[in-house]
Amino acid sequence: MNALHAYNIYSIRFFSIHVYCIILVVLSQTVSCTEQRTSDKAHLKVLSYLGNSNHLPEKAYKKTFQTHLDQLEKAGEIDQAVQLLEAHGDALDIAFLADSGFVKTTERFLNKYTSQLRAEQTISLNYYLGSQYDFLGDIEKSDTYLVKTQLSTDNEDGKKLQSFGRTLIVEHYKRSGKYYEAMNGYLQNIAYYEEQKDTINLTITYNNLSTIYKNLKVYDESEKCLQKGLQLAIATKDTINIWTAYINLSRPNELAINPQKCLKYARLTKHIHDRWSSKTRYHSANTYTTYANAMLLNRKLDSVYFFVELAKKYAEPGNRLKYDLYQMQAETDLISGKPIKNKEILEQEYKAAKQQNDIPVVEMLATILSNNAKQSNDYANAYHYLAEKYRIRDSSWMNDTKLNLIYLDKKFQLERKEKLIARQQLKIAQNKLFIYAILSVVLILTFTWFIISIRKKRKRSEHEAFIQEQFTFQLLQNTEEERSRIANELHDSVNHELLTIKNALVSGKTVDIEQVAGLIEEVRSISRNLHPAVLETIGLEASIEQLCERLSENGLFTTCEIEYDQPLDKNSELQIYRIIQESLNNTLKHGRADAAKVNIIQTATIISVEIKDNGKGFNVEEQINSPRSFGLQSLVQRAKSIAGTITISSSEKGSIIQFNKAL
């Protein structure tokens, strides 16, 4: 149990330091943003030098700071002077160093120029003073300045510094056992960091809030905060906060002392540390201290001494972690039956803790010193320290009881409020459901009406297209009937009369027989053009071949390649023949072509006809929109009449007419 007390004290101090580390990471970014507001390169160079904590030990550092501060004050450049103070304060915080000279200078500056400072500047300087007095151990003065950071401001940098100030105030509450006030401070910071989506500070705040709940003995809430912090850190691959969470999880509470669990998380901490490329002496010192505590809880005393010495090696001079190591070593000495080392230092720590009302530290040190006195047969001091321990414990127990009652009352009130909110939310949800149901019905009806309208419009369009197609078909059909009639009349009358004349002439009259034969052939040609009678007798393929032969005889060398196995209906074949005939006649009359070719390809799903020539070409868009281009229009209409499509392309190298019909 003594080891547990020792480690609880170590953990409180560890998180106090760790809070500084997290604050300073973000704080340095805040100050750097402030630096960028000035365009003075020389001033920026000075700020960069002063803001680097590595320069603090240099002799020129303080002289550079004071010289430039005096010059800026003399020139009335108050904003730049504030930036100088911020850079120096930032460097001191990063190095965990206190500088009484800086404190005096900043206090003088703040008192002199308060009325000229913006809210965020006042917040900044008060924060650095509060931080410095914390390092100097003057908690009262530290709180005096930190409280002044809580000014009203809309500046984001100022709001961040306010949250840092609250964090330090909370640390002071923790040291004095004011856990309820500390809890409220952390909850305020959580609300702010969630609003800002500041995952880093949100993670560390959850980790620290877990220690408050642990001190209040609300272990379930403590565990929840720990897990939230760890999940956030893992999700953002935040090494430092994963490391912090593992250290926190290695610390047992009074109801669940599990040495193996402590060792497990101590090993995870060391695993991260050993692979961490950017670790510092601070991280090493705390990692080895954590491991030493795990060894102590598992009673591996030789390892405790080893890791305590290793942690001392990395602990910075003046860092209070060294005292935690002395305390841990004292616990090990007592368990081993040896007199404790550094007794004088522990007694000094005990007196300092009593003066600062640091209850957990006083109780822990009183236990160690009492056990050491008892082991040395100094029963008077053993009784004195033991009595002080129980007096402190009784006082702490009363305080914890009051805090627990307050916490439980708050939780009860919160649960009542949550139930009321839940009922209101249920009612709102029911109302929303009703509204959504009405909206859904309206949307369904609207959608149904829309679909019906679209279908009606589509049917109307299809009907109109069908009527147009029928009209075109009927028009072309009537034309073909008329041509057929004329062809029959020419054949039965004119041709018959011409034959009679021919026979008469043969009988003895003087008549040019070749002239009469030519006339007969011309009439037959007219008849074929008006209606290709051969189409019905010899079929589409043979009719197209004859058409190509006649055109070749008339001066247009025309060839054809036909793959036509499944005859179409008579009307489709007629229209395809007419499309080919019209296309070739146009080529002969207007195209100035030497040659043309007809390709017909039929598959199971489509018949495709291509007519191409090597003529001069023409402007397709201009011709097809011209009212005089009846030939092209007739091609389009014939194609439509049998549910086909026509594509026409033309260039200086010739023209191509493509007809397609789905089967």
Tens digit of each residue's pLDDT (9 = 90 or more) over 537-569: 788 898 899 889 989 988 899 999 999 988 888
Enter the pTM of the model: 0.44
pLDDT at 69: 93
Read off the pLDDT band of 95 (50, 70, 90): confident
pLDDT surpassing 80 at residue 292: yes
Read off the pLDDT band of 464 (50, 70, 90): low
pLDDT surpassing 80 at residue 491: no
Cα torsion angle, 610, 615, 618, 624, sign: negative
pLDDT surpassing 80 at residue 210: yes
Q: Which of the residue ranges 23-27, 174-178, 211-215, 607-611 has the most confident prediction, judged by mean pLDDT?
A: 607-611
- How many degrees, rounded to 5, is the angle at CA 195 between CA 193 and CA 200? 30
pLDDT surpassing 90 at residue 29: no
- Taken as a whole, the chain contains a residue count of 663
Who contacts 375 (Cβ-Cβ below 8 Å, separation ≥6)? 334, 337, 339
In contact, 342 and 329? CB cutoff 8 Å: yes
pLDDT at 610: 95
Read off the pLDDT band of 387 (50, 70, 90): confident
pLDDT at 344: 81
CA 616 and chain centroid, separation = 61
Residue 82 CB neighbours (<10 A): 24
- How many degrees, rounded to 5, is the angle at CA 659 between CA 658 and CA 660? 120
Q: Which of the residue ranges 141-155, 406-420, 480-494 has the most confident prediction, judged by mean pLDDT?
A: 141-155
Who contacts 180 (Cβ-Cβ below 8 Å, separation ≥6)? 216, 403, 406, 407
- Kindly calculate the radius of gyration of the chain based on its CA atoms and give it in whole angstroms: 51
Cα torsion angle, 588, 591, 597, 602, sign: negative
In contact, 92 and 51? CB cutoff 8 Å: no
pLDDT surpassing 90 at residue 479: no
pLDDT surpassing 80 at residue 14: no
CA–CA gap between residue 545 and residue 548 (Å, rounded): 5
508 sits in the region (left: phi over 0; alpha: psi -120 to 50; else beta) called left
pLDDT surpassing 70 at residue 127: yes
pLDDT at 252: 65
**Mean pLDDT value of segment 348-370:** 79
pLDDT at 32: 44
Read off the pLDDT band of 17 (50, 70, 90): very low
pLDDT at 221: 86
pLDDT tens digits, one per residue of 607-648: 999 999 999 988 888 887 665 666 777 788 889 889 899 999
Q: Which of the residue ranges 119-123, 191-195, 513-517, 520-524 has the most confident prediction, judged by mean pLDDT?
A: 119-123
pLDDT at 37: 46
In contact, 602 and 563? CB cutoff 8 Å: yes
pLDDT surpassing 70 at residue 396: no
The one-letter code for the residue type at 614 is: N
pLDDT at 558: 94
In contact, 82 and 123? CB cutoff 8 Å: no
Provide the CB-side half-sphere exposure for 105 (13 A, CA).
20
pLDDT surpassing 70 at residue 482: no
CATH topology for 539-662?
Heat Shock Protein 90 (3.30.565)
Q: Which of the residue ranges 102-111, 207-216, 346-355, 436-445 has the most confident prediction, judged by mean pLDDT?
A: 102-111
Backbone angles phi, psi at 539, to 5 degrees: 95, 170
Strands 557-563, 595-602: pairing is: parallel
pLDDT at 116: 92
To the nearest 10°, the Cα dihedral for 646, 650, 653, 654?
50
Residue 36 vs residue 582, higher pLDDT? 582
Residue 55 DSSP class: G
pLDDT at 559: 94
**Mean pLDDT value of segment 36-61:** 82
pLDDT at 512: 65
CA–CA gap between residue 241 and residue 595 (Å, rounded): 85
Q: Which of 538, 544, 534 is nearest to 578 (CA)?
A: 544
pLDDT tens digits, one per residue of 236-277: 888 888 898 888 888 766 556 688 888 898 999 999 999 988
**pLDDT above 90 coverage of the chain, percent:** 21
- Mean pLDDT for the chain overall: 80
Task: Please list the alpha-helical segments (H only) found in 216-320.
Answer: 219-235, 239-249, 259-274, 281-297, 301-314
pLDDT surpassing 70 at residue 24: no
